[in-house]
């Protein structure tokens, strides 16, 4: 491994700062945690983790041709992410009176898949992550001298820190959610979560145009 331990620690600190900056991922994690608890947030966090591997990998591998090709693909993925979040949000508001069992927070397979897909797309379409990985990553490491081991370690750090942070955030939200057990409170939470999901979709859309 060619990168030093101090370089890796500095990079990990930078990733932590990126996570602590509120953005679309925070909103999405909170909204999923409110309505589905930790089980609802884990697929989303997993999708985000995969997305957090993609950005540094592209930055390390990057060539001008790849970057140009990916820019077009990214635009389509952003619009797809908008559709995903709008559908999830509208569906949640439409079913605002649905009861959620606090004893059984397991979501359906389709919801888990939707959460994973949404997490993947929201991080890929997050301009803050794009700017950080594609613009600032070369400032941490000499990308021209990285070995395969270096690339794997950097990608794992890029993914693991936000993943753990998102799980901690989900647990904190879930603990607060368990206090709100009344039907009226859950109805308000469903509406709030739906609005937050729609906001994420609109946020990505505004960044894409």
pLDDT of the residue at 157: 92
pLDDT in tens, 56-87: 787 777 643 444 455 565 566 667 767 877 88
- Global pTM reads 0.62
Structure tokens belonging to residue 68? 């140009």
High-pLDDT (> 90) share of the chain, %:
5
- List pLDDT tens digits, range 7-39: 888 888 878 876 766 567 777 788 778 777 788
Helix ranges (DSSP H) in the chain: 5-20, 24-61, 64-94, 109-124, 127-131, 137-140, 148-177, 183-208
pLDDT tens digit sequence for 128-177: 566 567 666 766 777 667 788 988 898 899 899 989 988 988 888 777 66
Query: Model confidence at 109, in pLDDT bands (50, 70, 90)?
Result: very low
Domain ranges of the chain: 10-208
d(Cα 80, Cα 201) in Å, to the nearest integer? 9
Tell how far CA 5 is from the center of its chain: 27
* CA end-to-end distance (rounded Å), the chain: 41
The pair of three-digit structure tokens given for residue 39, joined into one six-digit string: 């089980």
Chain Cα centroid distance, residue 98: 26
Residue-level pLDDT at 138? 67
């Amino acid at each position: 491994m060619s990168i030093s331990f101090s370089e890796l620690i500095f990079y990990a600190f930078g990733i932590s700062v990126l996570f602590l900056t509120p953005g679309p991922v925070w909103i999405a994690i909170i909204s999923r945690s409110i309505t589905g608890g930790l089980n609802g947030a884990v697929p989303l966090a997993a999708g985000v983790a995969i997305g957090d591997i993609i950005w540094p990998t592209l930055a390390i591998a990057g060539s001008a041709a790849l970057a140009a090709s990916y820019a077009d693909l990214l635009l389509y993925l952003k619009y797809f992410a908008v559709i995903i979040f709008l559908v999830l949000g509208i569906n949640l508001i439409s079913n605002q009176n649905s009861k959620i069992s606090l004893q059984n927070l397991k979501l359906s397979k389709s919801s888990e898949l939707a959460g994973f897909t949404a997490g993947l797309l929201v991080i890929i379409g997050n301009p803050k992550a794009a700017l950080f990985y594609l613009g600032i990553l070369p400032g941490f490491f000499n990308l021209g001298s990285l070995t395969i081991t270096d690339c794997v370690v950097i990608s794992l750090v890029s993914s693991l820190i936000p993943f753990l942070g998102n799980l901690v955030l989900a647990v904190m939200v879930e603990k607060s959610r368990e206090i709100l057990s009344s039907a009226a409170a859950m109805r308000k939470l469903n509406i709030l979560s739906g609005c937050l999901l729609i906001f994420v979709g609109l946020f990505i859309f505004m960044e894409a145009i």
